[in-house]
Amino acid sequence: MPHVADALTAETIRISGYGGDEIPAYIAQPVGEGPFGGVVVIHHMPGWDRWSKEVTRRFAASGYLAICPNLHFRAGQGASPEDSAAATRAAGGVPDDQLVGDVDAAARHLRSLPSSNQKLGVIGYCSGGRQSFLAACSLQFEAAVDCYGAGVVGNPPPQYPAAFVPLLGLAPQLSCPLLGLFGADDHFPSPDHVAELDAELTRLGKEHEFHSYEGAVHAFFCVDRPSYRVEAALEGWARVSEFYGRHLSS
């Protein structure tokens, strides 16, 4: 029984993240023996919220082990995810090395599950899009998805925290194929930023496919925000499904 369509279990667990810190992670698993591919979901800047967990469950309902670590947990143990997100933002965001450590912990947890086929993808939205690229350049994955991640290319605005550095120099270390989904009306990343990343990955011979949707702005996947664009989101989800189906299947 490889996978019962739409059947899943979900819960919050603790994993040992960067520096040995215990952090919460929301995990959703398909019903069935597997083997299943896995997906690490990197939440967006507003935090480890309901939408991020809905995305995690969506992957499980589609036959993937899925985990979404709370990247803002350290900002306030016991605080709500919203308050932790605000405190993390005020402190300048999640440091890159901490992000890599936490994603590594989430990936290792998925690989440790008996139903894992040892093939893992990573996906991130908004700030998580940049972090998905960072993780895929720092860790071994089989497929990565960057959803409108700003700050991969181009110098950040002067008000940005000093730690917020462009990632284009890491592109030679990209460990897996990359799917990029962007809004043509987004300003950050702008179409020029997307084109620059596209050109650099092509120059390096890195497998990738980018799609930019007309009429779509930043955060077009978020169903609970005015930025939601139904056509772009439906098309984007179809691209993700095809991409992960190709790279993460047993």
List interacting residues with other proteins (CB under 8 A). Answer: 44-47, 49, 75-76, 78-80, 82-87, 89-90, 92-93, 126-127, 150, 156-157, 159-161, 164, 186-188, 217-219, 225-227
**In terms of C-beta distances under 8 Å and separation of at least 24 residues, what long-range contacts does 203-209 make, across chains too?**
204/171, 204/172, 204/174, 206/171, 206/174, 206/177, 206/178, 207/177, 207/178, 208/177, 208/178, 208/179, 208/180, 209/177, 209/178, 209/179, 209/180, 209/239, 209/243
Nearer to other proteins, 79 or 113 (CB): 79
In whole angstroms, the minimum distance from the beta carbon of 232 to other proteins comes to 14
In whole angstroms, the minimum distance from the beta carbon of 70 to other proteins comes to 13
Nearer to other proteins, 164 or 213 (CB): 164
Nearer to other proteins, 82 or 192 (CB): 82
In whole angstroms, the minimum distance from the beta carbon of 183 to other proteins comes to 11
Nearer to other proteins, 21 or 209 (CB): 21
In whole angstroms, the minimum distance from the beta carbon of 118 to other proteins comes to 33
Nearer to other proteins, 94 or 120 (CB): 94
In whole angstroms, the minimum distance from the beta carbon of 143 to other proteins comes to 24
Nearer to other proteins, 83 or 209 (CB): 83
Nearer to other proteins, 151 or 236 (CB): 151
In whole angstroms, the minimum distance from the beta carbon of 225 to other proteins comes to 7
In whole angstroms, the minimum distance from the beta carbon of 61 to other proteins comes to 26
Cβ-based neighbour number of residue 114 at 10 Å? 7
